[in-house]
């Protein structure tokens, strides 16, 4: 039996993927993904802040109590925002040098004898 040419032209096509939405409709999958992404970024920043606070309190007597958190902040910024790798290396070096200078000034200031 021969196949009619009109039957072949009216075959049912596969439905669209579940991630595709009609125009002017809300995309629940994308909204859930965006909320999850924002939560993960918030969690990373929050955990870093907790660690930074802990490192600052534990490193009170350390001569590098400002430099180490500054280096961690620079590392976190470069991990979260990859386009920063195109920025000149002078920016993080300047931040680290400023933190070292602050640590030196705090060390010198705490080493001076206190007045009566």
In a domain, 96, yes or no: yes
Say yes or no to pLDDT of 39 above 90.
yes
CA gap 7, 32 in Å, rounded: 42
In a domain, 9, yes or no: no
Q: Which residue matches tokens 């925002």? A: 81
Say yes or no to pLDDT of 1 above 60.
no
In a domain, 6, yes or no: no
pLDDT, position 67 = 78
In a domain, 116, yes or no: no
Tokens of 72: 């961690």
In a domain, 49, yes or no: yes
First to last CA, the chain: 113
Say yes or no to pLDDT of 86 above 90.
no
In a domain, 20, yes or no: no
Q: How confident is the model at residue 11 (pLDDT cuts 50, 70, 90)?
A: low
Q: Which domain holds residue 65?
A: 28-110
Say yes or no to pLDDT of 116 above 50.
no
Say yes or no to pLDDT of 53 above 60.
yes
CA gap 63, 92 in Å, rounded: 20
Domain count for the chain, please give it. Answer: 1
> What would the pLDDT profile of 87-111 be if each residue is shown by its tens digit?
777 878 888 888 888 888 877 877 6
In a domain, 76, yes or no: yes
pLDDT, position 24 = 82
Minimal CA–CA distance to 74: which of 58, 101, 94?
A: 94
> What would the pLDDT profile of 67-77 be if each residue is shown by its tens digit?
777 787 787 77
């Amino acid at each position: 039996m021969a196949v009619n040419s009109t039957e072949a032209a009216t075959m049912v096509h596969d439905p669209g993927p579940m991630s595709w939405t009609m125009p002017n409709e809300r995309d629940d999958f994308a909204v859930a993904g965006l909320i999850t992404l924002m939560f993960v970024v918030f969690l990373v920043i929050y955990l870093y802040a907790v660690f930074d606070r802990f490192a600052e309190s534990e490193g009170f007597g350390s001569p590098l109590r400002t430099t180490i958190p500054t280096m961690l902040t620079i590392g976190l910024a470069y991990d979260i925002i990859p386009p920063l790798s195109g920025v000149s290396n002078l920016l993080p070096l300047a931040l680290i040098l400023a933190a070292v200078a602050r640590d030196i000034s705090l060390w010198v200031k705490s080493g001076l004898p206190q007045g009566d």
